[in-house]
Amino acid sequence: MHSLSQLKSGELSGIQHLKLSEDLTEFPLEILSLADSLEILDLSNNQLNALPDELSQLHKLKILFASNNHFESLPEVLGQCLELEMIGFKSNKIKQVPANSLPPKLRWLILTNNRIETLPESLGERPRLQKLALAGNCLTHLPQSMAQLCNLELLRISANELTECPDQLLNLPKLAWFAFAGNPFCQSQVTIESVPEVPSSSYSLLQVLGQGASGVISKATWNQPHPDLPVEIAVKVFKGEITSDGYPKDELQACLKVGNHPNLVQSLAQVNENGYLALIMNLIPSHYRNLGLPPCFNSCTRDTFWPDFTLPITQINKIVAQMEDVFEHLHANQVCHGDLYAHNTLFDEQANIIFGDFGAATMYHMLKEQQRDQVKQIEHRALHHFIDDLLSICRKEDKNSEAFFRLKQKKSSPRNANAQITGL
């Protein structure tokens, strides 16, 4: 974090990444003095509602974040920033996205949790776009031009007002991570009761194990013994807000619809009280660790890994086989996970995996048969990327093995996009 006083004093001259959060109500024009070096500008968590036309003078600017401000329209000056690739305006008050506000090199656009009702047709004229997050808006339809987004890989349209399945998206050639729950077109009257309901007073939360966009996971203990349930449990308490992936209630229903599988976090019970939603799960043994790390700015949609982290091909083969089985289980229950990644996968020294994080999951049993097949095909691309990412960390001495080439061939094998997927 930097300070406005540092900026005004000239102390920040030559920096490439500037982050200012001081309840700013106006854009500090002193930022323009960094035009010859500045590539990343983060003005999130301020009180801004406009950007000056002079912003286009930042001729090296590639990334701009302005989440949690007071913008009501996506600034048109962004379209004049010719090197700008990544834009994040999450949790503002944006109602309008002008046609000329989208820069020509746009690759990553985050407009989650705003008030947008329509998007311009110019959105489909951004061929480099790879990542698009629109969850938590008021969209009733999407531009037909989005059918031209030939490089779009990750899309979040959950928690909107879309009345029809956006068919123009289902045949996009690279779309792999897709979340669309919480729209009228995929509403379901089905209430999943695969696990019992318990009151929140039946357990006590202990230490926090982790947290994400949709909730906080804690170790917990029962206040009274439950003879049919494990003694040690984990509880995910949902935040009850729209997240970057959609509504927590949709995540809970998708988890319950999937049911049990040896490589999934097992759901044990649920809490559904006024203002309090929680999922009780098996406590994952402490020796499990994350298989991967989330994407970075450069990789955009693809996982990253620790430096020098490698796996033998035997373990990669075992992990892939388990994930293939998880994939088939998910889609046999007509649930699209939406976030099939190594960073959502835990593994142990024997390469046993546990897959979780259903924040982007969507039930799709209500769609037409062809649409269901297309949704499965989309997630199958994510599975291929998962395999490809693991092959990238294969030990050097195994990269000439027959097993390596078999997996590589499986990952790259062509598939008829219109054919029903029955196996891998």
pLDDT tens per residue, the chain (424 residues)?
899 999 999 999 999 999 999 999 999 999 999 999 999 999 999 999 999 999 999 999 999 999 999 999 999 999 999 999 999 999 999 999 999 999 999 999 999 999 999 999 999 999 999 999 999 999 999 999 999 999 999 999 999 999 999 999 999 999 999 999 999 999 887 667 778 899 999 999 999 998 877 889 999 999 998 888 898 999 999 987 777 788 888 898 899 999 999 999 999 999 989 889 999 999 999 999 999 999 999 999 999 999 999 999 999 999 999 999 999 999 999 999 999 999 999 999 999 999 998 999 999 999 999 999 999 999 999 999 999 999 999 999 999 999 999 999 877 654 433 333 323 3
d(CA 17, CA 9): 17
Annotation: binding site for ATP = 236
Buried b (16+ CB within 10 A) or exposed e, 345-355: bbbeeebbbbb
The two structure tokens encoding residue 178: 């897709």
Strand, helix or coil for residue 177? strand
- φ and ψ at residue 64, rounded to 5 degrees: -135, 120
CB neighbour list of residue 104: distance below 8 Å, 6 or more residues apart = 79, 82, 126
Angle between helices 369-391 and 402-412 (to 10 degrees): 150
β-bridge mates for residue 273, sequence order = 276
Radius of gyration (C-alpha) of the chain in whole angstroms: 23
Bin 116: left if φ > 0, else alpha if -120 < ψ < 50, else beta.
beta
Q: Which residues are known binding-site members?
A: 236
Instruction: Say how far residue 366 (Cα) sits from the centre of its chain.
Output: 23
**Is the Cβ–Cβ distance between 85 and 106 less than 8 Å?**
yes
3-class SS string, 181-199: CCCHHHCCCCCCCCCCECC
Q: Residues in the chain, how many?
A: 424
- State the pTM of this model: 0.93
Do 357 and 284 meet the contact criterion of CB atoms below 8 Å apart? no
Q: Give the phi and the psi of residue 136 in degrees, each rounded to 5.
A: 75, 40
- Distance between the two ends of the chain, CA-based, in angstroms? 47
Distance of CA 224 to the CA centre of its chain: 37
pLDDT at 60: 98
In this prediction, residue 420 carries a pLDDT of: 33
pLDDT computed for residue 212 by the predictor: 77
Helix and strand totals (H; E) in the chain: 6, 18
Distance of CA 211 to the CA centre of its chain: 14
Q: What is the DSSP letter of 174?
A: T
Domains of the chain: 4-186 (3.80.10.10), 200-282 (3.30.200.20), 289-412 (1.10.510.10)
State whether residue 154 is helix, strand or coil: strand
